[in-house]
Amino acid sequence: MFHRRLQPLEILSPGSLDVIEAGWRRIVADHGIEFLHEGALERFRAAGQRVAGEVVHLDPDWVLEQVAQVPAEFVHRGRNPERTIRFAADRMVFCSSQSAPFVREGATRRNAVYDDFVRFVRLTHVLDELDTPGYPVCEPADREPETRHLDLQMALIRETDKPYGGAQFDPIAARDSIAMAELVHGGRRAIEEEPALFGVINANSPLRFDTRMIESLIAFAEAGQIVVVTPFILMGAMGPVSIAAALAQQTAESLAGIALSQLVRPGCPAVMGSFVSHSDMQSGSPGFGGPESALGLLASGQIARRHGLLWRAGGGGLTSAQLVDAQAAFEALNTMLPAFLAGANLVLHAAGWLESGLVACYEKYVTDIDALRILEREFTPLEVSEPDLTLESFAEAGHGGHFFGTAHTLEHFRDCFYRPLAFSTESYDRWQSGGGKDTAARAEVRWRKLLDGYEQPPLDESTADALEEFVARRRREIEAEL
């Protein structure tokens, strides 16, 4: 896991932060948040909040009291304890790209299928930089929507021993994923003590949570699993065309959702979600990786810290590009680097995201891993001591000489510099005689090689049997209800 030790960059002045703080307070109190779920409304009413129709007018101080119950640190257990994640202020968790219906593989763009799901989980497994596949590393079109979650949860358990995410878009699926986690980890009590799943709960921005998301939130919170409450705000569509307003809105929505999680189970682990970007006002399409994304990330970190919350960066590695080209790399880095600068604790979509999230791309997986590896080195403070100066080397090289053959170089040349997966320093002639491949083409070679090196981690046979039995039974039950 990456331990972040540099101070986060702060771009909001204290005065500006106060304005945003005043903003979310007025939004939750005056406009209120709509919760399309009678049970949730009842809980808010019982806690003394004013409910008008389906809109809850929240007392902001009460919201902060709820939020204060969220633990400052918690683990996310993997079935291999060595892969268990620790969520903490100075840690960064990196998660694969999520939810793409399409896949790009080389020059081919097509519907995602189950085999892609398995391959992306395997890539996540072999790459140390990725702490978790999350849940829907892609959305396979060759599996029925009603029972897909059973196959995908099974694949997440079998193909990796890293912690993974619960099925979050539907409460039935959420409960099934919790039941399967219980089978993996030895029962309900075990996962209540140390959560085994995180569930990403999206607000239906602006200022609304819909029925299914609330039910999923309640299911995860009841089981003490990690709730990541994320408004997805494309300014101009789900929010005003103002970063300040979108930040106030995001804070209002996220804190309101977290407050509900604490009503369900005080002390439930929760993460403040952030996802602010913009709509291209000419095309109406979403845009990622421009200044708006970066400013949104930097400011979100400041706001989360003000409330003592761990926070999710909407994503690192985001891009609207259609190919793994210059735009893709620029936008990806211009979301990942701000996530590092802002000290995000959970970075979704950290590998593979393309085409505004519609595509999970194998080649992008590789270039994103290069980015992660490079940034992890850059964000490790440079600690220098006298031997690092290697003053004797200067005498050895001499004035105007060179260092290829000095003792210090010969001792360190193998591992002194970062060696990229897909980037090339070849001279033009050599590069051309090797086929003149661009970065995306070189990345294709690398992910195939990475997959070749995959080995399935062992899964206890009785656990596997219990899971298979559960999946078979639930499949029959769900199909019977269709």
Near its own copies by CB under 8 A: residue from 3, 26, 449, 476: 26
The single residue listed with the structure tokens 């060179």 is 402
By CB under 8 A, residue 50 contacts its own copies: no
- In the complex, minimum distance from the CB of residue 410 to its own copies, in angstroms, rounded to a whole number: 10
List the interface residues with its own copies, window 197-236 (CB under 8 A): 204, 206-208, 210, 235-236
Alpha helices in 73-210 (DSSP H): 114-126, 148-159, 171-185, 188-193
| Residue with Cβ nearer its own copies (386 or 481) | 386
Question: How far, CA to CA in Å, does 103 sit from each of 141, 144, 181?
Answer: 11, 18, 28
| Residue with Cβ nearer its own copies (431 or 468) | 431
Per-residue contact track with its own copies, 311 to 350, x per CB under 8 A? Answer: ---------xxxxxxxxxxxxxxx--xx--x---------
Axis-axis angle for helices 291-306, 243-264 (nearest 10)? 40
Please choose, out of 216-224, 342-350, 410-418, 451-459, the segment that lies near its own copies by the rule CB under 8 A.
Answer: 410-418
| Residue with Cβ nearer its own copies (144 or 378) | 378
Give the C-alpha separation, 125 to 161, whole Å. 8
List the interface residues with its own copies, window 433-452 (CB under 8 A): 436, 438-440, 443
Near its own copies by CB under 8 A: residue from 1, 31, 57, 459: 31
Near its own copies by CB under 8 A: residue from 2, 4, 27, 318: 27
List the interface residues with its own copies, window 288-317 (CB under 8 A): 289-292, 294-295, 298-299
Size of the residue set binding its own copies (CB under 8 A): 131
345, two tokens: 């604790």
Alpha helices in 78-140 (DSSP H): 114-126
By CB under 8 A, residue 457 contacts its own copies: no
Per-residue contact track with its own copies, 133 to 152, x per CB under 8 A? Answer: --------------------
Give the C-alpha separation, 373 to 257, whole Å. 34
Give the C-alpha separation, 111 to 395, whole Å. 61
Distance of CA 87 to the CA centre of its chain: 13
By CB under 8 A, residue 14 contacts its own copies: no
| Nearest residue to 371 (alpha-carbon basis) of 94, 89, 88 | 94
Near its own copies by CB under 8 A: residue from 374, 451, 459, 464: 374
Please choose, out of 61-69, 123-131, 343-351, 412-420, the segment that lies near its own copies by the rule CB under 8 A.
Answer: 412-420
Q: Can you tell me whether residue 79 is helix, strand or coil?
A: coil
Q: In sequence order, what are the beta bridge partners of 239?
A: 235
List the interface residues with its own copies, window 77-106 (CB under 8 A): none
The single residue listed with the structure tokens 């499949």 is 475
By CB under 8 A, residue 431 contacts its own copies: yes
Give the C-alpha separation, 278 to 291, whole Å. 10
| Nearest residue to 246 (alpha-carbon basis) of 279, 201, 199 | 279
Near its own copies by CB under 8 A: residue from 14, 48, 52, 388: 388
Pairing of strands 359-361, 353-354: antiparallel
| Residue with Cβ nearer its own copies (66 or 334) | 334
Near its own copies by CB under 8 A: residue from 69, 84, 211, 393: 393
Q: Which residues contact 251 (CB under 8 A, 6 or more apart)?
A: 20, 21, 23, 24, 303, 307
By CB under 8 A, residue 480 contacts its own copies: no
